[in-house]
Structure 1
Amino acid sequence: MPQAGPKLLTQIAAVHFVSHVHIMLIPALLPVLPGLLGVGFVELGVALAVFNIVSALVQAPLGYAVDRYGARKVLKAGLLLGSLSFLLLAVSPSHAVLLVAMAMAGLANGVYHPADYALLANGIEPARLGRSFSVHTFAGFLGSAVTPALFLGIASVFGTPAALVVGAVFGVAALLLISIPGSGVYQAAGPCDKGGAGSAPATGRLRVFTPMIGVLTVLFILLNLSTSAIEKFSVAALVQGQGLNLAWANTALTAFLLCSAAGVLCGGALADRTRRHGLVAALAFALAAALTTLVALGLLQGWTLVVVLGAIGLLTGIIAPSRDMLVKAAAPPGAEGKAFGLVSTGFNIGGAIGPVAFGWMLDQHLPNGVFMASVVFMLLTVLLTLTQEAYSTRRRTTEQLARLL
C-alpha cells in the first residue's frame, strides 16, 4: 500500500478545516441572518436542527459509500454539495431555501469523517498515524475558531450574501486541492478510487457493527456531551451562576478552546508512543473531571478560573487522537469508512441531546448544573474507556497465546 505521507495530510487537514468553516458559518452569521431572511431566531434554530439531524442520519450510510465507491469520490461530492448549499442561500435568501440549504449542508457534513479517516488510515504509515489524526483534528478546531470573526467581518463590509459566497468558495478551493492528479489523496486511494474493482474489497463486507464499535459510538456521545457543555454553555453558566462579568467568562472559554487545540497536537505525539489508548483517555478525563468539579463548586475566580479551564481544555484535547486510534483498531481492514461513519454518529446524537438539556438547566436557574453534568459525562467516559481497555488487553493476551500455541 503506498504511503502518501505529508501531501495527503496537508490536503485532508485543509478539507477538515473547510468542513468546520461550513459547520460554523450559519451559527457565526446568526446576528445578521434575521435581517437578510426576515425570520426570528426560532426559525434559525430549526434550520440548525435540520443540519444536525440530517448529519446524524447519513453518517453511517456514507461510511458504507466511502468503502464501496471510494473515499476520494465521496469526499469530492461532499465538498461540492456543501459549497452549493451556501451559494444557493446567497443567491436566493429565504427561510425555505435556508432549510433546503441546511439539509444539503448536513448531507455534505456526513461525508467528512468517514472519508477523511479512511484516507488517513490507508495512506499514513502506522508509526505516524496518531500525530496525523491530531493534525487533522487541530485543523477542524482552527476552522471553527476563525469562522465567526472572519465571516462576520465580511458580512459587515460586503453584506451577508457575500459572506455566504466566500464560504462556498472555501469549499471549491478545497475541492480543487484534492483534485490535483498524483496528489496525496490519489496516492492513498483504495481499489474503488483507482477504478480497479467494481465493488468494495472483500474485507469491506465484514460485519462492522461489532460490540466494540457500539461501545465506541457511546463513547463519542459521552465525549460530545462532556465537552459541549463547556464549549457552548460555560459563559452563560459562569455569568448566571457565579457572578462573573462577561469579559472574564469569555476569557475563560477562550483559554479552554485554545488549550483544547494545543492538547490535540500533544495527544497525537502521545498516541504514537503507546498502545494503551483507552488508558490515556481514561486518565486525561479523570483529571479533567476533578478540575471541572472545582469550577462547578464555584471555588475559582479570575485568572485561577482561566488557568483551570485551560487545563481542562488541554486534557480533553489530548484524548482526541487516542479516540481515533481506538476506532482504527476496531475497524476491519478495508472498512474504515464504515467504522468511522458509525461512531461519528455519536457526535450528532450528543449534539442533538446536549443543547436541550443544558438549556433547560439554565432556564431552571441551575447554571452550575451545566458543569456538574459535564463531570458526570466525563466520569462515565472514564468507566467506559477503562472497560474497553480491559477488554482489549484480554483480547491481545488471548491472541498472543493463540500464536504461541
Structure 2
Amino acid sequence: MSTATIDALPQPDPVPLKDDAVVIGLVGLAHGTSHFSHLLLAPLFPVFIRDFGLSYADVGLLMSIFFVISGVGQALAGFVVDRMGARPVLFAAITCFFLASLAASLATGYSGLVLVAVLAGLGNAPFHPADFTILNQRVSAQRLGHAFSVHGITGNLGWALAPAFLVGITALADWRAAYHAAAVLYAIVLGILFWQRDWLQTRVVERHEDAPAGADLAFLRLPVVWWCFAFFFLSTVTLAVVQSFAPSILKAVHGVSVEAATLTLSAYMLCTAAGTLTGGFVAAWGQHRRWSSDRVVALAMTGGAVLLLVCATGWLGASGTMAVLSITGFAIGVGGPSRDMMIKQATPKGATGRVYGTVYSGLDTGFAVSPLFFGLLMDRGWYGATLGIAALVLLLSVYAAIGVGRRSGR
C-alpha cells in the first residue's frame, strides 16, 4: 500500500494554532451530533410507551438495534474511510441522522421507530474512524492530546443536550415537533461542515494492483488491535451500567428521589467532561515526559474502579454515594485523551480508519451487551452487586490497557 497525498493539504511546520483549532472545532461539532443520536429515541420512551402501547422490552430492543448496527457498521466503515477519505463518509453519516429525525416525526407505530433506530445506527457507525482519521492527519502532533480531549468533551455535551432538547420541545409543543427541530439541527450542522469542508479533507489509501490478496485485512492479525477492542468493550460495559442503572440503584438502595438520582447522573457526565478536559493536559504532559499513554489510562481507570467499588458498598449513605459516583466520572474522563493516544500508537501506518473502526466497535458491543446482563442482576434486586461487578470489569480494562502498551512497540 502507498499513501497518495492530496495537493489541497498544506502541512506548514509548525502548524498555526488557529488551523488546528478550526479542525478540532469542526470535528468536535460533528462528534456532538453522534452522541446526540445515541439518545434520539431514549428520552421519549415514556411517550412512545403511552402513545403506541409498547412495553419496556419493546423500547429496550430499539437501543439494541441501534448499537448492533452501529457496531457492525463501524468496523466496516473504517475500510470505506481509508479508501474514500473521511469527509464524504462524515457527510453521509449526518445525512442519515437527518433522515432518522424525519422518520421519527412521521412514525405511527413500532415499525416506524425501528426504522429510526436503523437509520441512526447507520449514521453513528462511521464517526470514530472518520473523526480520528481527520484529527490524526490534520492536527499537529503536539496538540493531539488536546484534540482528543475536545473530541471527548463534545461527545458528553451531545449526551447532555439530547434529553433537554427533545423533552423540552415536547413539553412546549409535541414530540413530532421535537423531531422536526432535531432534523433542522442536523441540517445546520451539515451546512456548517460543508461550508468549511476544506478543513476536513484527508489523504486516502490507494491499493496497487499487485498488492497481495487480503492486504486490507492484514491489520486484523495484529494482537494489539484485539487488545484495544477488549479495552473498549470492557470499559464501555461499566459506562453502560452507570448510564442505564445508576439512578435506579440510588433510588432503590438509598431512597433518593428520582430527580436527585437523575441529577447525579448529569453530574457524573459533567464530571466526565471536566476530567476529559483535564486529561488533555495530562496527555500532553505525559508526552513531554515520555509517560506511556497506557500507564495514564491504567491509573485513571483504576481510580475510577476503586471509587465505584466504594459506591457499591453503600457505606457512604445517599449523599456520599452520589458525590463519589460523580467523582468517578472525573477519574474515568482523565484517561479519555490518553486512551485515544494509546490507540493511535497501536495503529499501523495507512490503516487509521480500519483500526479505529474495528477498535471502537468494541464500544458499541459493550453498550449492546451490558444492559442485557446487568439487567438480570437488577431484576433480582442485586443492586450493590451490579455496581461492584461493573467496577471489577473496569479493573479488567486496566489489564487490557497494559496489554495494549506491551504490544504497541512503545
Q: Same fold (TM over 0.5)?
A: yes
Cα offset, 1:297, TM superposition: 1.0
Whole-angstrom distance in 1 between the partners of 2:278 and 2:353: 25
Cα offset, 1:246, TM superposition: 3.4
Give 1:177's aligned residue.
192
Is the counterpart of residue 59 in structure 1 residue 67 in structure 2? no
Distance 1:36 1:294, change over 3 A: same
Cα offset, 1:321, TM superposition: 0.9
Map 1:284-295 to 2 at 5 A. Answer: 284-295=300-311
CA-to-partner distance for each residue in 1:78-117, whole Å, 9 max, x for gaps?
1111211221231343321221221121111101111111
Structure 1 residue aligned with 2:151, among 116, 136, 149? 136
Whole-angstrom distance in 2 between the partners of 1:235 and 1:181: 41
Map 1:75-94 to 2 at 5 A. Answer: 75-94=90-109
Whole-angstrom distance in 2 between the partners of 1:257 and 1:273: 24
Task: Report which stretch shifted further, 292-301 or 258-267.
Answer: 292-301
Distance 1:198 1:205, change over 3 A: closer
Whole-angstrom distance in 2 between the partners of 1:300 and 1:106: 39
Cα offset, 1:35, TM superposition: 4.3
CA-to-partner distance for each residue in 1:311-349, whole Å, 9 max, x for gaps?
211101111111111111111222211111001110111
Structure 1 residue aligned with 2:228, among 216, 225, 235? 216
Structure 1 residue aligned with 2:241, among 229, 232, 246? 229
Distance 1:322 1:5, change over 3 A: same
Structure 1 residue aligned with 2:295, among 265, 274, 279? 279
Task: Report which stretch shifted further, 367-376 or 296-305.
Answer: 296-305
Does the CA-based 8 Å contact 1:206-1:332 persist in structure 2? Answer: no
TM-score by length of 2: 0.88
Give 1:301's aligned residue.
317
Letter matched to residue 348 of structure 2: P
CA-to-partner distance for each residue in 1:271-330, whole Å, 9 max, x for gaps?
122241111111112222222221111111244323312221110111111111111111
TM-score by length of 1: 0.89
Is the counterpart of residue 190 in structure 1 residue 203 in structure 2? yes
RMSD of aligned Cα (Å): 2.2
Whole-angstrom distance in 2 between the partners of 1:387 and 1:333: 20
Whole-angstrom distance in 2 between the partners of 1:145 and 1:26: 14
Whole-angstrom distance in 2 between the partners of 1:366 and 1:206: 43
Cα offset, 1:270, TM superposition: 1.0
Give 1:339's aligned residue.
355
Letter matched to residue 119 of structure 2: M
Helix, strand or coil at the partner of 1:334: coil
CA-to-partner distance for each residue in 1:1-37, whole Å, 9 max, x for gaps?
6355111111111111111112112001112223444
Is the counterpart of residue 2 in structure 1 residue 2 in structure 2? no
Give 1:207's aligned residue.
218
Give 1:353's aligned residue.
369
Cα offset, 1:131, TM superposition: 0.8
Letter matched to residue 236 of structure 1: S
Letter matched to residue 124 of structure 1: V
Whole-angstrom distance in 2 between the partners of 1:146 and 1:352: 22
Cα offset, 1:206, TM superposition: 7.0
Whole-angstrom distance in 1 between the partners of 2:247 and 2:278: 26
Helix, strand or coil at the partner of 1:2: coil
Helix, strand or coil at the partner of 1:333: coil
Whole-angstrom distance in 2 between the partners of 1:341 and 1:199: 23
Give 1:154's aligned residue.
169
Whole-angstrom distance in 2 between the partners of 1:34 and 1:290: 38
Letter matched to residue 208 of structure 1: F
Letter matched to residue 8 of structure 1: V
CA-to-partner distance for each residue in 1:174-228, whole Å, 9 max, x for gaps?
2111112564213xx2247xxxx6989x8x9472221111000000001101222
Is the counterpart of residue 269 in structure 1 residue 281 in structure 2? yes
Give the fraction of aligned pairs with identical amino acids, expressed as a percent. Answer: 30
CA-to-partner distance for each residue in 1:217-274, whole Å, 9 max, x for gaps?
0000011012222222111112223444434433433332211110011111111222
Whole-angstrom distance in 2 between the partners of 1:322 and 1:266: 11
Does the CA-based 8 Å contact 2:247-2:261 persist in structure 1? Answer: yes
Distance 1:199 1:55, change over 3 A: farther
User: Structure 2: which 5+ residue stretches go unaligned?
Assistant: 1-8, 12-18
Whole-angstrom distance in 2 between the partners of 1:307 and 1:47: 32
Is the counterpart of residue 33 in structure 1 residue 48 in structure 2? yes
Does the CA-based 8 Å contact 2:63-2:368 persist in structure 1? Answer: no
Does the CA-based 8 Å contact 2:73-2:125 persist in structure 1? Answer: yes
Does the CA-based 8 Å contact 2:231-2:398 persist in structure 1? Answer: no
Structure 2 residue aligned with 1:20, among 21, 31, 35? 35
Cα offset, 1:55, TM superposition: 0.9
Map 1:384-395 to 2 at 5 A. Answer: 384-392=400-408, 395=409
Whole-angstrom distance in 1 between the partners of 2:163 and 2:83: 36
Letter matched to residue 332 of structure 1: P
Task: Report which stretch shifted further, 339-348 or 4-13.
Answer: 4-13
Cα offset, 1:38, TM superposition: 4.7
Whole-angstrom distance in 2 between the partners of 1:67 and 1:278: 26
User: Structure 1: which 5+ residue stretches go unaligned?
Assistant: 397-405
Give 2:268's aligned residue.
256
